Amino acid sequence: ARRPLSPRRRHRCRRRPALASAGQGRQLVEMPPVRFKPPLPVRFKVPKGTIPPLPPNEPDIALGKSIVAARPHRITADQIEYSRKILRRLLGRKGDFLINIHATYGVTKKAENVKMGRGKGALEYFVARVPAGRVMFHIPALSPFPGYNPNFAAFREIADKMPMEVKFRNQNNHFPGNL
């Protein structure tokens, strides 16, 4: 004999009628819980907080041309999107590039003419918290010979859109000496 489902488990488990065999009444078979649920968009209201620095023993180094943040700052999703469009326009369809920052923190703003109090406000836009030294945009390429002078035209245009100072880094695979 089966014991009845508790009220707590009743809402989690669905029952479906099984086929009735000859001489038996209707049986109920317990269904397993549904395991997959698609993730909802993350829309948390978070405090402004501080931007934690990069760990000193884990430098952010990548071969190729990079834009590196010189100071910690918050970068909006619109600024990241403008930069992506600039890179796509100047590199063309086949040009590869990587974006290493993602706007995941929501910033709230109260409506106009709202008095003090009345809650935190609605989400206005999203930002990425970028610490100093983080590679933000990266064009993976190797410099095959020493003395190569890279062209940072695309990065110079992006640097004008950024709210903080940035540095251009050209990391290649040429090591002087007998290594």
Q: How much is the CA Rg of the chain, to the nearest whole Å?
A: 27
What pLDDT is recorded for position 118?
83
CB 161 within 8 A of CB 79: yes
Q: Which residues of the chain have pLDDT under 70?
A: 1-27, 31-42, 142-150, 173-179
Torsion of CA 128, 134, 138, 142, to 10 degrees: -170
- Give me the pLDDT at residue 84, please: 92
pLDDT for 62 equals 75
Tell me the C-alpha distance between 139 and 135, whole Å: 11
pLDDT of res. 137 = 92
SS3 of 162, please?
coil
The phi-psi region of residue 113 (left if phi > 0; otherwise alpha if psi is between -120 and 50; otherwise beta) is left
Q: Reduce the DSSP state of residue 64 to 3 states and report it.
A: strand
Structural element, H or E, at residue 28: strand 28-30
